[in-house]
Amino acid sequence: MTSPLETRSALPLETRDGNDPDPLAAATAAVEELRSASETFRTEQAATAERHATEVRGLTDRIASLETRLNRPGSGGNDQRQEPTVEVRAFTGFVRQGRELLTAEEVRALRTDAQVAGGYLAPDQFEATLLRELVEISPMRQAARVTPVSSGAVILPKRTGRITAKWVGETEDRPGTEPTYGQIEIPVHEMACFVDVSNRLLEDAAVNIEQELAFDFAEEFGRLEAVAFVAGDGIKKPVGIMVDANVATVASGDAAKITPDSLIDLMYALPQAYRGRGSWVMNSRSIAAVRKFKDAGGNFLWADGVGTIADGQASTLLGRPVIEAPDMPDIAAGATPIVYGDFASAYRILDRVGLTVLRDPYTQQTNGVVRFHARRRVGAGVVRPEAVRKLKIGTA
């Protein structure tokens, strides 16, 4: 018996045409494309994250800097939001409305000056503001050494003789000498001024009246002391640096004007120890003259600055800072219009502690103002004349 078998014809084998794409290659290309897109995305995300982190760090640094500045005394930060001391409140009340309207506590807080009837000592904060303003108005304070004192005169030691030395042999006698010392006495002189303040200004609570008064007093005191520090004769005032007979002079080499060479001579007439710390002091007319000077290469001896000596960005002449002092002499035959030296070593300014203010509401009442009288004591003088030199117009 035979089983019937189903027979089928064989199907033809499928073959790939040469033009058909390779599926493996296509899959590989798709994977590579996905991987490349993923890498690009991660790179962009990392760059964005880094940019955001940099911005956050910058903002954090700025916030920290602002907080530091605001927390500094006198910067308008936390210290200014604190309540003023009773002493400051008392002085402010005294200035604005007189002693009569103060509370008993504020009256007790007012510091009196026994030497002036009816006067009161300004608070330390007020005097500190005054001194800061004085530095801007009185040029010599920018370079000289300023010392607060509490006495009527200061005596400073001065070496008047040096020890001597010599070369000696092994068994020769050694020289025996001793230095000799003298004294320099700088008396403290008194100066007084007054300023008038309108009643409306005193009544306006939005006005910082203490700052207004401090500036006005500084302007008057600064003008007065600036003249004395330069040309004071020592009679009821300090001796000026241009008046002290112990300060040596250097000739300009011309009978009527300053010469460029004389500026170099003046600078190098100083001992080396003082020369490198020296500053020039002259008035605006002398500055106008020396600004035109050039060296052999056509370069100006003067270089403009953008600040002051205090911030190290003052204008310079021959590389050293210049201080403009309106009270210096003009250029003329026989005059001494320029001084160069280490003023911190050469000239000492003594600020007697205590500024006394007297309120006078009566004298100028018809004019609608209150007059404030102030007095302070200042001394000054040359302590090391060898540290400065004056330029004298002349041939010898």
Tell me, yes or no, whether 133 lies in a domain: yes
- Pick the last residue of a domain from 49, 73, 97: 73
> What is d(CA 106, CA 219) in angstroms, rounded to the nearest whole number?
29
Tell me, yes or no, whether 155 lies in a domain: yes
Same domain, 98 and 130: no
pLDDT at 75: 46
Question: What is each CA distance from 60 to 69, 75, 77, 343, in whole angstroms?
Answer: 14, 20, 19, 44
Same domain, 247 and 382: yes
Mean pLDDT of 23-43: 76
Question: Looking at the whole model, is its pTM more than 0.75?
Answer: no
Mean pLDDT of 175-189: 79
Q: DSSP class of residue 2?
A: -
Is residue 40 scored above 70 in pLDDT? yes
Of the chain, the percentage scoring pLDDT greater than 90 comes to 37
Same domain, 142 and 281: yes
Closest CA to 240 of 386, 351, 140: 140
Question: Would the CA dihedral through 340, 343, 348, 353 be positive or negative?
Answer: positive
Tell me, yes or no, whether 90 lies in a domain: yes
Same domain, 219 and 325: yes
Same domain, 238 and 209: yes
Is residue 118 scored above 60 in pLDDT? no
Same domain, 304 and 346: yes
Looking at the structure of the chain, the number of domains it has is 3
Question: Would the CA dihedral through 71, 74, 77, 83 be positive or negative?
Answer: positive
Tell me, yes or no, whether 278 lies in a domain: yes
Is residue 149 scored above 60 in pLDDT? yes
Same domain, 65 and 144: no
Mean pLDDT of 308-322: 86
> Using an 8 Å Cβ cutoff, are 280 and 322 in contact?
yes
> What is d(CA 217, CA 358) in angstroms, rounded to the nearest whole number?
13
Tell me, yes or no, whether 234 lies in a domain: yes
Question: What is each CA distance from 316 to 230, 291, 323, 326, in whole angstroms?
Answer: 21, 10, 9, 18
Same domain, 94 and 53: no
Same domain, 386 and 245: yes
Can you give the residue range of the structural domain that contains 376? 118-162+180-396
Residues constituting the chain = 396
> pLDDT for 122-131, tens place per residue?
777 777 777 8
Mean pLDDT, the chain, integer: 81
Same domain, 208 and 94: no
Same domain, 218 and 275: yes
Is residue 164 scored above 80 in pLDDT? no
Strands (E), 94-214: 111-112, 120-121, 145-149, 153-161, 180-187, 189-198
Mean pLDDT of 103-107: 67
Torsion of CA 138, 143, 146, 152, to 10 degrees: -60
> Using an 8 Å Cβ cutoff, are 356 and 374 in contact?
yes
Mean pLDDT of 235-241: 95
Tell me, yes or no, whether 271 lies in a domain: yes
| 3-class DSSP assignment, residue 389 | strand
pLDDT at 58: 72
Tell me, yes or no, whether 9 lies in a domain: no
* Domain CATH for 224: 3.90.1690
> Using an 8 Å Cβ cutoff, are 208 and 91 in contact?
no
pLDDT at 259: 94
Tell me, yes or no, whether 65 lies in a domain: yes
Same domain, 66 and 151: no
